[in-house]
Amino acid sequence: MRNHKHIDFLGIGTQKSGTSWLHYNLGQIQEFDLPPIKEIHYFDRNRDYSSPNTLSETFLSNRIRQKKYFLKAIKNIGISVLRLNWKHLIFNTNYYFSNYSDKWYLSLFKYFKGYTGEITPSYSILNEEDIRRIHKLLPDVKLVLMLRNPIERAWSHYRFSKTKIDNFDFKKIDHNEVIKFMESKAQSFRSDYIKTIENYSNIFRKEQILICFYDAISDNPEMLMGSVLNHICGNTTISISNLNLKKVINKSQKLDCPKEIEDYLKNRYHDQIKELSEKHGGYFTKWYEEAYLEKSTSENTILLPTMYMKS
């Protein structure tokens, strides 16, 4: 196993599109060595972003006064001690009790000797200025963007947001409230795949950006994971025979989308899905034809689990 002083990959989104599945399985591979926190949220620190802003306060002195923050830090550090995991102890101490900077961010990965990186779905909503910050710090990093039919993703996002509300009654859904959520920045930006791809492609080389499809987790997970490993590691000799790729990670509560909401989402995302289908085919075309019962003009109907954007 090699030693290195850089970050190999970033998972840049999107939320509710299989990023937890990806992180879990990469963490089970011997050649990978990942931090204990999946989503570091370093590059989306600006409060203008509709993200958790975990690291929005640069200085420790402004964070340590927050009781919730302090208790979470002590809890995670305590878990590291109880498990005698000194690498995670160093990481958590550095993560929670430091001032934040680019140098600090790189230092988080100092003791992780295998292929390493992080997956923060909110990176999909970054503007070009902050993507340039990533490029300046990590010019050769491999990017992994997992996409899901935006109609399904939006509904899953809504369901997931409500699981955080105690005793929320999914049987009494207010359709107006759902549509308001669908039109919010938090939801809309995460489903604007064309903008995300364009923003990253304008700054990173297209061969650095691997597009992965949520559908392939059930259709062909072995090929999907193999493609990801080839993208990150540059080879396909890493064994994945020990992985249970069918295991569901971070599952949302099951609830059928009301027809009124489904129709609204189909109308909202029609043009985007059609454009993606016509340009790139594959699963984009599958989404279009299944949602709208129309034949796509795309000639590429092969359902590969991943793709690179065309030059």
Q: Most distant CA pair in the chain: distance in Å?
A: 58
Provide the domain count of the chain. Answer: 1
CATH code, domain with 220: 3.40.50.300
Condensed to tens digits (0 to 9), the pLDDT of residues 278-311 reads 999 999 999 999 999 998 888 888 899 999 987 5
pLDDT tier, 146 (very low <50, low <70, confident <90, very high otherwise): very high
Q: Is 203 among the domain residues?
A: yes
CA separation (Å) from 83 to 51, 172, 231, 254? 31, 43, 33, 34
Q: Is 238 among the domain residues?
A: yes
Per the model's pLDDT, the better-predicted residue between 256 and 53 turns out to be: 256
Q: In this predicted structure, what is the pLDDT of residue 159?
A: 85
pLDDT over 80 (residue 4): no
pLDDT tier, 169 (very low <50, low <70, confident <90, very high otherwise): low
Q: pTM value?
A: 0.92
Q: Is 89 among the domain residues?
A: no
Q: Is 90 among the domain residues?
A: no
Q: Is 63 among the domain residues?
A: no
Q: Is 27 among the domain residues?
A: yes
Q: Is 87 among the domain residues?
A: no
Q: Which of 17-26, 74-83, 190-199, 248-257 has the lowest mean pLDDT?
A: 248-257
Q: Is 204 among the domain residues?
A: yes
pLDDT over 80 (residue 237): yes
Give the domain range for residue 258.
9-34+119-307
